[in-house]
A and B are shown apart, each in its own frame.
Chain A
Amino acid sequence: MTAIEPCAGSLGFLNGSDGAAISDVAKHLRNLLFDNALPQLEQAETWNRRELLPANLEEIYLECRWENWDGYGARAVTPSAFEEALVLLSSLPENIPLPEFAGEPDGSIGMQWENGPNRIFALSVSGKGVIIYAGLLGKASKAHGTEVFSDSLPTSLMGYLHRLFG
């Protein structure tokens, strides 16, 4: 029983019930936790999610780099498509949720975002400096087309993604 008492005391100190001196320590620790450690932890979590994405992309590439990877005669995804997808991915702003990846039958790498029914946006790259996109942006709104890709996501596509999640 006596061994438990110090524990109970330490719980009390977190609540500031063990006197002013200990309460100051508790305040200091609480500040450290909430003002510094937790925000850093959240940042680290975001960073880790971004770091994991290339691994997911690589997984898709490894599955789709062979002819007929889909069983329906798909063309192999090329290293240049993979590299371009990596560049595009790194150009995505942090406030855009992470996409899901997919191989496409012509050897392109696709990215897909969803935000509920009738809200899907998809784009693909094939290593040729072109983005092909299509999206449902609500029940009565859709868009599709082609954009030149040179290291950053075109503003028009950024606009569609913001509309998708707006």
Chain B
Amino acid sequence: MIRYLRALWAIFTGFSAKSENSDVVDASERISRFVLSKSHVSVQNQRVKYAAFLPPPSRKLSAYRTTTVEEQGIWEIGRTYVAAPQQKAIRGRGDLSANIIRATELDVVPERQPHKLHADVVGWPTEKDEQKMIAVELANQAIAVFPPP
């Protein structure tokens, strides 16, 4: 089922593996934000909360370009490059298209460390209430995905 959905995603977005190596993130690419805090997911409501999309003090929100990666591979990236270095477990992830992120006036740029598919969501305003507004908008559109048991 997931494979089928991915194929559909690729068909509708016209995304190819080639563009994943590009220095420009395509508008159709899926961007995944991994969540390590229990407080940032609502399993009961099947949601990733807005707080998961608030930027850190550096104002670079860490994410991954996952359009061409199989579901199992996405979790593997999350476990290896996000959770393991922090000695934490993955609680879920929020998926958004780059297009949705850019509609909030943010941008997604490749930042190939610690993984070639790593990217930063940048362009955050400095005021906290403006950051919160954008985080709420992203949470509103994000698709919550939870790790297999």
Does residue A19 face the partner (Cβ distance < 8 Å to B)?
Answer: no
**Nearest CB on B from A141, distance (A):** 12
Interface of A is mostly: strand
Bound Cα distance from A11 to B51, whole angstroms: 54
> Does B114 touch A at the CB level, under 8 Å?
no
Decide: A120 near B82, CB < 8 A? Known: A69-B37, A102-B51: no
Secondary structure class of chain B's binding surface, majority of residues: helix
Across the interface, do B57 and A73 meet the contact criterion of CB distance under 8 Å? yes
> Does A165 make an interface contact (CB < 8 A)?
no
Contact in complex: B129, A110 (CB < 8 Å): no
In Å, the complex CA distance between A64 and B52 comes to 13
Q: Which of B38, B62, B133 contacts A142 (CB 8 A)?
A: B133
- The answer to whether B83 and A105 touch across the interface, beta carbons within 8 angstroms, is no
Q: Are A71 and B86 within 8 A (Cβ)?
A: yes
What 0/1 pattern do residues 112 to 123 of A give for CB contact below 8 A with B?
A: 101001101110
Is there a chain A Cβ closer than 8 Å to B80's Cβ?
A: no
Judge whether A84 is part of the interface by a CB distance below 8 angstroms.
no
For the complex, count residues of A whose C-beta is within 8 A of B: 36
CB distance from B9 to the nearest CB of A (A): 21
Residues from chain B with a CB closer than 8 A to the CB of A134 are: 50, 129-130, 132-133, 135-136
CB-CB < 8 A to A72: which residues of B? 36, 56, 62
A74 at interface, CB cutoff 8 A: yes
**Which A residues lie within 8 Å of B133 (CB)?**
134, 142, 144
* B112 at the binding interface (Cβ < 8 Å): no
CB–CB A104/B51 < 8 A? yes
Whether the Cβ atoms of A122 and B50 lie closer than 8 Å is yes
- When A120-B140, A136-B137 are in contact, do A102 and B40 touch as well, CB less than 8 Å? yes
A121 to chain B, nearest CB (A): 8
Taking the closest CB of chain B, its distance from the CB of A128, in whole angstroms, is 11
Residues in chain B within 8 A of chain A (CB atoms): 36-40, 42, 45, 47, 49-52, 54-58, 62, 82-83, 86, 88, 128-130, 132-133, 135-137, 139-140
19 new A-B contacts at CB < 8 Å, known A122-B50, A136-B136: A60-B39, A63-B37, A64-B39, A70-B36, A72-B62, A73-B58, A74-B56, A100-B42, A102-B50, A103-B40, A105-B54, A106-B128, A112-B50, A133-B132, A134-B129, A135-B136, A142-B137, A144-B133, A145-B129
A-B contact pairs, 29 of them (CB 8 A): A64-B39, A68-B86, A69-B37, A70-B36, A71-B83, A72-B36, A74-B56, A100-B42, A102-B39, A102-B40, A102-B50, A105-B55, A106-B54, A106-B128, A110-B49, A110-B50, A112-B51, A114-B47, A122-B132, A122-B135, A132-B128, A133-B132, A134-B50, A135-B136, A136-B140, A142-B133, A144-B132, A144-B133, A146-B128
- Give 3 nearest A-B pairs by CB, closest first: A102-B51, A71-B36, A71-B86
